[in-house]
Chains A and B, each alone.
Chain A
Amino acid sequence: MLDQYLFIFAQAHEDFRIPELRSIAELHQFPIKIPEDIDVKRPFAVLGLEKEEHARILARRCILVKHVYEFYASATSYEELHEKNRALHARWDKYAADTSFKFFVAGFNQSIPQRRQKDVVESFSYMDFQGKIDMKNPELIMGCFEEYYDKQGTMRHKHEGDGNFREVFFGRLIEDGSARSLVQKFDVKKRAYYGNTSMEAEISLLMVNQTLASPGKVVYDPFIGTGSMAYTTAHFGAFVFGSDIDGRQMRGKENQPGIMRAAAQYGVAERILDLGTFDVTHHPWRCGGFLDAIITDPPYGVRAGAKRLGRRETPRSLRRPISAPSTPRPDDQPYIPPMKLYELSALATDLVLLARYLLRPGGRLVFFLPTVTDEYQEVDIQTMTCEGMELVANSLQDFGVWGRRLVTIRKTTSQDYPPPAFDTAAAPSDDVDGAHVPAHRHFRQKYFQKFRSPTEGDEEGSQRSLSEAIEQVAEDNNLP
C-alpha cells in the first residue's frame, strides 16, 4: 500500500517533471505512483510512495522538486478541507502534546493578505497543538497551499479574488528540495570555461538525472563541446568520457584543457576519465557494451556546425585525387582533414544505433532533438528508435515556432549489435509526396528559412537560394 505525498514543483520545465521523478525512483529502485490524469501544468501533485525515505531521496535529487509534504487533504473549500483533516486525527495527534511547530500558508498565482493568512492558521485550532510555536527551527512544519487559476494578463488589484481558489492542499513538511541549489552552483556564467553553445545549468542537471548517473557508472558525451553535461554528470559520481570533432572546443586557449579547468573548479576533475578529438562517425572505440549512458546535445548546425569527416559531394570531373596529407605541412600546423555537413535526422538515427552498440543492456541514451513545432508529430521520435531500443521519455522545451525535445531511450536488448555503418544513404528518403517528414529533418535549413513553408508563394526561390548560399559559405569555410 502506497502512502500519499504532496509534491510542490518549481514553475519551470513542466514537461520534464514526471520523467525526472520516474528516473530517480528507478535509479533507487522504488515504486512511485503517478496519477494517469495528472495535469503537469499545475505545480502541486499528490503521488504515491512506499515510505518517507523515498520522498526524501526525490527531494534531494530532483531538480524540479521544491518541497515534499506528507499529504493530509485537498479540497475546494476550507469546510471540506477541515472535515477531511479532522477525520485524519490519528496522523497528527502524536504531534499535539509538545512538538514545536509552525504553520505555513501560501498562495499560488495569488498573494494572500497577512490578515487572512492568520485566519487560515487559526482555523486549524481544533488540532490543538500545545507545543511551542517556533518560526525559526520548528520540529514540525504544517503547510497550507491555495492554488488559483492563472490570471496573467488581466488587470486586477493584488488581492482581488482572494479566497476564490481552485483547490487547497494541506500536509506536513517532510523535506525541502535541495537539488535546486545546484542550478546556481553550475551557473555557466560563474564557470571557469564555457562557450557560446554551453548548455544552461538547469537543463544539464535535468539531462543527467535522465541518465541515472551514480557513482561508478560510465557516461559518454560524443559531442562534448565545452563539457556542460560532463560536470553535472561527474557531480553525481559517474565517470565521464568525452569526444568532439573539434578539439578547440574542449581545449580553449590555455595549456590545460578548458574542460579540465572547469571540472577542477567543481572538484570533479578526477572523474573526467578522458577526452578525445575524433569524429563519432569514425570513432576509435575498440568494443561496445561498456557504457551506462550516453548524454549529449548534438549540434543542430545552427550555432555549432554539425560536421563529420569527409568531403561534400562534388561532380566527379572536379574531384581531386585523394592522397595522404604531406607531412610536415609547410605552416607546421596539425593537419585538419576536410569535413562535411551532418544532416540532423541522419545524425539522430546514427546516434541511436551507436548507443545500441556502445551501451550496456539497460543503459540509456539521453539527448536533445530540435523540432519545428508545427510539423512535429509523436511518430517523429518513434521513427528514430530501432530494435532493442525503447523510448522512455520525451520532454519538450518550448521556444515557440521551434522547440527541443529531451529524448530518453533505453537499451532493452542484451544482444550484441554491430557498430552502425553511419551510411547516410540508408536513412529513409524524404520528399515522398504527402508523406510526413520528421520535424527535425533538415532542421538547419528550416531554421535559416525562419520556419516558413517552402511553398509560401513567390519567396520560395529567393529563400531557397539564400539558405543554399549560407550552406555554401559554411562549407567553404570548412573549419572543424
Chain B
Amino acid sequence: MVRLITHNLLACHAKNCNTNNFPLQLKDVQVEQREAEFNPDFLRGFMPRIEWKALVEAAKQVGDTSLPLEQPEMLDDEFLKQLHHVLLEIHIDEGALVCPNCGHVYPIMNGIPNMLLAENEIG
C-alpha cells in the first residue's frame, strides 16, 4: 500500500502550502512488491492524469529505473507493462511522506498514510 499511483495523486494540503507541495518526498520507506492484474485499458486511460517526472523520480527512489525520462507517445505493451509495475506493484508499507515546501511529515503505518492536518494547518 501507498502505491506509486497514489503517491502521484497526493499533495501537501496544509494551509498556505500551495507551491512546491508536490511530489511528497519519500522518507525511510520500506518497500514491498506485490503482483497485480495487468489492465492496459486502465493504464491508457490513466496516463493523462500522471505527473510523469514525479513518477519517474519516485520510482528511482525505490530502486526502479525502468521508466523513460520523457512520457512516450507510443504506448506499446512492453512500456505499459513497466508502467503497470511501477504504478501498481510497488507498495510502501512503512516510512513517511514529507512535504518539500513546509516540511510536514505524513507518517505511513501498515500501508496507510496519515494525511490529517493539525489545527494550526487548516484554513
Among A241, A270, A274, A279, the residue within 8 A (CB) of B116 is A279
Size of chain A's interface in residues, with CB distance under 8 A? 45
Q: How far is the CA of A251 from the CA of B8 in the complex (A)?
A: 23
Q: How far is the CA of A282 from the CA of B112 in the complex (A)?
A: 17
* B122 sits at the interface (CB 8 A): yes
Residue of B nearest to A285 (CB): B9
Q: Quick one: CB contact mask for B1-13 with A, threshold 8 Å, 1 for yes? A: 1110110111111
B-contacting residues, A211-242, CB 8 Å: 215-218, 239, 241
Taking A239-B42, A275-B111 as known contacts, 7 extra A-B pairs with beta carbons closer than 8 A to each other, sorted by chain A number, are: A257-B1, A276-B10, A277-B112, A278-B117, A286-B51, A290-B46, A309-B116
Contact (A310, B46) CB under 8 Å given A251-B112, A274-B6, A275-B1: no
Chain B interface residue count: which class?
Answer: 35 or more
* B35 sits at the interface (CB 8 A): yes
> Are B10 and A323 interface neighbours, CB within 8 A?
no
* A334 sits at the interface (CB 8 A): yes
Q: How far is the CA of A185 from the CA of B22 in the complex (A)?
A: 41
Residue of A nearest to B39 (CB): A216
Residue of B nearest to A288 (CB): B49
Among A217, A274, A286, A289, the residue within 8 A (CB) of B2 is A274
> Are A275 and B119 interface neighbours, CB within 8 A?
no
> Are B115 and A257 interface neighbours, CB within 8 A?
no
> Are A257 and B112 interface neighbours, CB within 8 A?
yes
B-contacting residues, A265-293, CB 8 Å: 270, 272-279, 282-287, 289-290
Q: How far is the CB of B27 from chain A (nearest CB, A)?
A: 16
* A260 sits at the interface (CB 8 A): yes
A residues lining the B interface (CB < 8 Å): 215-218, 239, 241, 243, 245, 247, 250-251, 255-257, 260, 270, 272-279, 282-287, 289-290, 309-311, 322-325, 334-338, 480
Complex contacts, B3 vs chain A, CB 8 Å: 273-274
Can you name 29 A-B residue pairings with CB atoms under 8 Å?
A215-B42, A218-B46, A243-B115, A247-B114, A251-B112, A270-B34, A270-B36, A273-B5, A273-B88, A274-B6, A274-B111, A276-B10, A277-B113, A278-B115, A278-B117, A279-B116, A282-B13, A282-B122, A284-B13, A284-B115, A285-B9, A285-B10, A286-B51, A287-B49, A290-B9, A324-B118, A337-B116, A337-B117, A480-B116
* B77 sits at the interface (CB 8 A): no
Q: How far is the CB of A187 from chain B (nearest CB, A)?
A: 26
A-contacting residues, B29-44, CB 8 Å: 34-37, 39, 41-42
